Amino acid sequence: MKLHYFPSPEETNSLGTDELRSRFLIGGLFQPGAVTAHYTDLDRMIVGAAVPAGAPLGLPTDRELGTSFFLERREIGILNLGAAGTVRVGGTKYDLGTLDCLYIGLGEKEVSFENGAAGQAQFYFVSTPAHAKHPTAVARRADLKTDPIGDVTKANRRRINKCIHLDGIKSCQLVLGFTEFEPGSIWNTMPPHTHSRRTEVYLYFDVGDQMVVHLMGEPQKTRHLIVRDREAVLSPAWSVHCGVGTSSYRFVWAMGGDNQVFADMDPAPIATLK
In tens digits, the chain (274 residues) has pLDDT values of 899 889 999 999 999 999 999 999 999 999 999 999 999 999 999 999 999 998 999 999 988 899 999 999 999 999 999 999 999 999 899 999 999 999 999 999 999 999 987 789 999 999 999 999 999 999 999 999 888 999 999 999 999 999 999 889 999 999 999 999 999 999 999 999 998 888 999 999 999 999 999 999 999 999 999 999 999 999 999 999 999 999 999 999 999 988 788 778 889 999 999 9
Answer for the pair 78, 57: CB distance below 8 angstroms, yes or no.
no
Domain limits, the chain: 2-9+27-140, 147-272
Question: Which among 69, 131, 85 is positioned nearest to 105, based on CA atoms?
Answer: 131
Phi-psi region of 146 (alpha: psi -120 to 50; beta: other; left: phi over 0): beta
Please state whether the peptide bond connecting residue 183 to the residue before it is cis, i.e. omega within 30 degrees of 0. no
Pick the CATH number of 2-9+27-140 from 2.60.120.10, 1.20.140.10, 3.40.50.2300, 1.10.287.130: 2.60.120.10
Q: Do domains 2-9+27-140 and 147-272 have the same CATH topology?
A: yes
The model carries a pTM of 0.95
Question: Which among 217, 252, 220, 257 is positioned nearest to 40, based on CA atoms?
Answer: 257
Query: Residue 164: its pLDDT value, please?
Result: 97
The superfamily (CATH) of domain 147-272 is Jelly Rolls (2.60.120.10)
Query: Residue 274: its pLDDT value, please?
Result: 95
Question: Which among 111, 119, 69, 71 is positioned nearest to 94, based on CA atoms?
Answer: 111
Query: Residue 21: its pLDDT value, please?
Result: 97
Query: Residue 54: its pLDDT value, please?
Result: 84
